[in-house]
Structure 1
Amino acid sequence: MAANTNKACCSIPPVQSDYTPKGKTEKLGGLDAYSIGPDDAKKAIVVVYDIFGYWPTTKQGSDVLAEALKDTKLVMPDFFRGKPFPQEYYPPDTKEKQEALQKFFGEAGDFGARKPELEAVANELKSKGASKVGLLGYCWGGKLSVLAGAKGTVFSSVAQVHPAMVDPKDAENLTVPVANFPSKDEPQDAVDQFEKVVQSKPFASQSVYKLYKENHHGWAAARADLKDQKNLEAFQDVYQRLADFFTNTLA
């Protein structure tokens, strides 16, 4: 059973948001998926949410990215099938809540079970005309994105934003460019070692990295507080960097 050791991931609740998403829902790879962008796009990006699932600010990030990449389709599959981790369990400050969180990571959040589903979504996008597919994940989804970028990957590039469970060994297995945008709450030693490995790879020049040392874990997804000016600025900055990264690696 997988266990998440990221303390920030296990302590910061999602932020309430009144944003109204602009996309639609469609079926991909047998899953419901939030979708935005042209259906006939030759480029696509699969977005993997954090454990809180379909949060307004997480969808807002996809909408922002779709606006910047007008010729790209973005899809966010519902891997948790309508049952994300309950926000009322945050913070997990009791033994019961902590056990529920670890159970979630071992079942709904099991990487081995979700990776084939992720690949099925990408392959369906390709069957519908996408010649290149990128991958973006937050927190739990960031870890899944990096794992999916190993040998035999169906993705042209991968990105992780405030990733959970950062492991330099995952970087060693990468075979495609990676965008890495950790927060101040990720373990710095692991982040540094991860980036050191990336810089030794043949795709190092296409990879990008920025440490958001003033921003908390989750600032670009469910824990984004866009009424806070510093959070808003970082939110805008990271999506611009993601847009640039995918423009270059999906060309």
Structure 2
Amino acid sequence: MAANTNQACCTIPPVKSDYSPKGSMEKIGGLDTYVIGPKDAKKAIVVVYDIFGFHNATKQGADLLADSTKARVIMPDFFRGKPFPQTSYPPDTDEKKQEFQNFFGNAGDFKARKPELEAIADELKKDGASKVGLVGFCWGGKLSVLAGGEGTKFTSVAQVHPAMVDAKDAEGLTVPIANFPSKDEPKEDVDAFEAEVQKKPFAKDSVYKHYPDSHHGWAAARADLSDKGNLENFQDVYQRLSDFFNKTLA
């Protein structure tokens, strides 16, 4: 990887555990959307939240990306106000397991959400963005990779503590990817995914870091920013995302 000559000007601000989001809500692609950053920016980044939907930690991440990339950063509400309830996680009873499956078959259905995501990218381009990046967490990580395949609307994609990691998804990628798994994704699946990325012509522009000390969700709705280790890795992963998008969306 080449050194990032922009390091000094794109260092993210301090991360806070007691945080008030700076963005506002707008309608984009027909969806209620959290928006931060200049509307006339030539680059945009779409954030796909995890199954728990809007959360202050995820919004803080969006704010950090906007600040350090000067991009317009948007987070659409694909679940339309009905995310998976944190009280039902982890799905450790038959009832909760069924609720989990039902969620992925309806609100979390990738085939239904992907066209909505693509319509949002089209709208951002109509508004003046020449390049659009995409980052997803958990469920959103899987959706981001699927949206980075043939005919993609995105210049680059990223996944953080992704759900359902599958090397076949990596085979389909056509743009650079930043890949930041946690300790809770099966290591053999993560390794197989990364091996496929390394075969791609854009491997040199892709980045990878495994976070063996961080739990699934540490950078989004399950972040505990009062925990020193979680806080440090939260800061680290958003710095790496910022560097990645500053390079690929330049």
1:82 aligns with 2:81: yes
Q: Aligned-pair distance for 1:93? A: 2.4
User: Which aligned runs of 4 or more in structure 1 are off by greater than 3 angstroms?
Assistant: none
- 1:156 maps to 155
**What does 1:92-111 correspond to in 2, within 5 Å?**
92-111=91-110
- 2:132 maps to 133
- 1:147 maps to 146
Q: Secondary structure at the match of 1:26?
A: strand
Residue 100 of structure 2 aligns with an amino acid whose one-letter code is: L
- 1:197 maps to 196
**Distance in 1 between residues matched to 2:174 and 2:94, nearest whole Å:** 39
**Distance in 2 between residues matched to 1:90 and 1:146, nearest whole Å:** 24
**What does 1:158-173 correspond to in 2, within 5 Å?**
158-173=157-172
- 1:37 maps to 37
**Distance in 1 between residues matched to 2:18 and 2:238, nearest whole Å:** 20
Return the TM-score normalized by structure 1: 0.92
Q: Aligned-pair distance for 1:65? A: 1.2
- 2:26 maps to 26
**What does 1:226-241 correspond to in 2, within 5 Å?**
226-241=225-240
Q: Please provide the CA RMSD for this pair.
A: 0.8
Residue 61 of structure 2 aligns with an amino acid whose one-letter code is: G
Residue 104 of structure 1 aligns with an amino acid whose one-letter code is: F
Q: Aligned-pair distance for 1:90? A: 2.2
- 2:7 maps to none
Q: Secondary structure at the match of 1:158?
A: strand
- 1:55 maps to 55
Q: Secondary structure at the match of 1:119?
A: helix
**What does 1:115-126 correspond to in 2, within 5 Å?**
115-126=114-125
Q: Secondary structure at the match of 1:211?
A: coil
> Structure 2: any 5+ residue segments left out of the alignment?
1-16
**Distance in 2 between residues matched to 1:241 and 1:140, nearest whole Å:** 20
**Distance in 1 between residues matched to 2:153 and 2:108, nearest whole Å:** 21
Q: Secondary structure at the match of 1:135?
A: strand
**Distance in 2 between residues matched to 1:97 and 1:206, nearest whole Å:** 40
Aligned-pair identity in percent equals: 73
